[in-house]
Chains A and B, each alone.
Chain A
Amino acid sequence: MLSGKTIQKAESRPAFEPRIIAFFCNWCTYLAADLAGTSRLKYAPNVRVIRLMCSGRVDPQFVLRAFAEGADGVLIGGCHPGDCHYQEGNYKTLRRFVLLRRTLKQMGIEEDRFRLEWISAAEGDRVRAVVNDMVEKVRALGPLRLNAAVEEEEAVHA
């Protein structure tokens, strides 16, 4: 978050800080994020983590809503294939992810803005690496402006 001081300094055009929503499963990736914390690993503060019981709980509607409400990227973290606490959840996630990413691309959301990673509870360092990498890729893409044409049209009408 920007502090009051930063806002004052930044004047009209503050530097772009990507906002990334991360859906982490309770049994693997969330524990890995916890491990990263207790191990005092430092990584980009741009992720807002939402804990779910399973990556299979990520309804594509959640992803769309995150983008619609202003997220610049969405990250899903789940257990490695074969390790799902609920046996099959992460496979369903993988299938949905493949089709959703293609659909999002058609709707103007670049592939690098939507990412699925398998991260086990022991891989705290991988959380750091994945988050840092994704933040840099999304930063390079710039803010998500989904309805740029509509924004411009509204600006003309206003």
Chain B
Amino acid sequence: MPDKPKVAFYWCASCGGCEEAVVDLADGILDVAAAVDIVFWPVALDFKRADVEAMADGSIDVTFLNGAIRTSEQEEMAHLLRRKSKTLVAFGACAQLGGVPGLANLFDREGILQEVYGDSRPGDDLPVLFNDVRALDQVVETDYYVPGCPPAPAIVLKAVQTLLNCARPPKGAILASDRALCDECARKATKPEKLTVAEFHRPHQVIIDEEKCLLAQGLVCMGSATRGGCGAVCIQGNMPCSGCCGPVGTVRDQGAKVLSALASIIESKEDMEIEHALASIPDPAGTFYRYSLPASLLRHKTRERILQ
């Protein structure tokens, strides 16, 4: 029997939800476990960094790395795993786009440390906290992306099968559907031809109709610019899409595109009324860039320009 492909899982700045997503494969995980040889997975198996360092370069077939990069230790691990792996996959929204931790980029390091620790700062022997949170491909070359917060079981299973297959998609591919969530939403038929709203509501402020298009009910639903493939589980739970699967392929900046779509459906034509209606979105940057601030045009492009 030929050797099974060697697979590693690792986490950086993440919540653990992506690890849970792997376990969520339920019975499917047995097939995955039977098909591969897991050589490194800190959350489940007792291998250490030294074990990875002892491996030959390129000896891991696929590494799934979740979480954003925001400390020197995470940066080192990203470089180490890149060197040891033939294929490196950004797994989940944080590795793909910076994710929720990426919202820290609205503040600077000093402000964050002051808010969390006050004057009793952690010691110097800890890894350095960087000023900016980065997505994986802003640190090392990344081969593929698995979107979602966390990635839906169907997406994970399909991504793993795709990678174990000999005929792989081109490098840089996002291993999921490229259709907008609205396109596969079960409530699509209830979306009016000309959609307008007087103002937006937050989910706790209204009783949400379980059948009708959430955007038409004035909820901030980001499905129009967000990649589908997740099965619209949030919509099934009567909650609007918060955009975790990132932008569809034709959109460069998810936040800008959602902002554009949502602002333009406000009914009013008067300055003050528009201001008032849009005040119903109290935190636009945190809402529209909930998962993608580090990968946004403004952060990413300026960063590239500085580093050149």
Q: Do A and B come from one complex?
A: yes
Q: Give me the interface of A with B, judged by CB distance under 8 Å.
A: 59-61, 63-65, 67-70, 81, 91-92, 94-96, 98-100, 102-103, 106-107, 146-147, 149-154
Contact residues in A for B109 (Cβ distance below 8 Å): 149
Q: Are B298 and A146 in contact (CB under 8 A)?
A: yes
Contact residues in B for A96 (Cβ distance below 8 Å): 259-260, 263-264
Complex CA distance for A134 and B259, rounded to whole angstroms: 25
A–B pairs, 25, beta carbons within 8 Å: A60-B253, A60-B257, A60-B259, A61-B251, A61-B253, A65-B297, A68-B298, A68-B305, A91-B269, A92-B263, A92-B264, A95-B263, A98-B275, A99-B284, A100-B263, A102-B284, A106-B106, A106-B283, A106-B286, A146-B298, A146-B302, A147-B299, A147-B303, A151-B306, A153-B132
Complex CA distance for A64 and B300, rounded to whole angstroms: 11
Tell me, rounded to whole Å, the shortest Cβ–Cβ distance linking B106 to chain A.
6
Q: Are A98 and B132 in contact (CB under 8 A)?
A: no
At the interface, yes or no: B281 with Cβ under 8 Å from chain A? yes
Contact with A along B230-265 (1 / 0, CB 8 A): 000000000000000000000111011101101110
**Chain A residue nearest to B128 in the complex (CB):** A153
Complex CA distance for A67 and B253, rounded to whole angstroms: 14
Complex CA distance for A106 and B109, rounded to whole angstroms: 16
Contact residues in A for B132 (Cβ distance below 8 Å): 147, 149-150, 153
- One of B264, B285, B300, B302 near A106 (C-beta < 8 A): B285
Contact residues in A for B186 (Cβ distance below 8 Å): none
**Chain B residue nearest to A146 in the complex (CB):** B302
A64 and B297 in contact (CB under 8 A), knowing A81-B269, A99-B284? Answer: yes
At the interface, yes or no: B274 with Cβ under 8 Å from chain A? yes
A-B contact count (CB 8 A): 102
Q: Are A95 and B264 in contact (CB under 8 A)?
A: yes
Contact residues in A for B256 (Cβ distance below 8 Å): 59-61, 63-64, 100
Q: Are A154 and B307 in contact (CB under 8 A)?
A: yes
At the interface, yes or no: B271 with Cβ under 8 Å from chain A? yes
Since A64-B296, A68-B301 are in contact, a sample of 15 more A-B pairs with Cβ atoms closer than 8 Å, ordered by chain A residue number, is A59-B257, A61-B252, A61-B256, A64-B253, A69-B301, A94-B269, A95-B266, A95-B278, A96-B260, A98-B275, A146-B298, A146-B299, A147-B299, A147-B302, A152-B131
B132, B262, B284: which has the most chain A beta carbons within 10 Å? Answer: B284
Prevailing SS type, chain A contact patch: helix
At the interface, yes or no: B288 with Cβ under 8 Å from chain A? yes
Q: How large is the interface on B (under 10, 10 to 19, 20 to 34, 35 or more residues)?
A: 35 or more
- One of A103, A151, A152 near B285 (C-beta < 8 A): A103
Contact residues in B for A81 (Cβ distance below 8 Å): 269
Q: Are A64 and B106 in contact (CB under 8 A)?
A: no
Q: Are B305 and A149 in contact (CB under 8 A)?
A: no
Q: Which 9 A-B pairs have the closest CB atoms?
A: A68-B301, A106-B285, A60-B256, A64-B297, A103-B284, A92-B264, A149-B131, A99-B263, A95-B263
Q: Are B259 and A68 in contact (CB under 8 A)?
A: no
Q: Are B305 and A69 in contact (CB under 8 A)?
A: yes
Tell me, rounded to whole Å, the shortest Cβ–Cβ distance linking B283 to chain A.
8
Q: Are B284 and A98 in contact (CB under 8 A)?
A: no
A59 and B306 in contact (CB under 8 A), knowing A68-B301, A95-B274? Answer: no
Contact residues in B for A146 (Cβ distance below 8 Å): 298-299, 302
At the interface, yes or no: B108 with Cβ under 8 Å from chain A? yes
Contact residues in A for B269 (Cβ distance below 8 Å): 81, 91, 94
**Chain A residue nearest to B111 in the complex (CB):** A149
Q: Are A107 and B106 in contact (CB under 8 A)?
A: yes
Q: Are A103 and B306 in contact (CB under 8 A)?
A: no
- One of A68, A100, A103, A147 near B297 (C-beta < 8 A): A68
Tell me, rounded to whole Å, the shortest Cβ–Cβ distance linking B132 to chain A.
5
A65 and B301 in contact (CB under 8 A), knowing A94-B274, A99-B284, A149-B109? Answer: yes
Complex CA distance for A152 and B108, rounded to whole angstroms: 12
Contact with A along B20-35 (1 / 0, CB 8 A): 0000000000000000
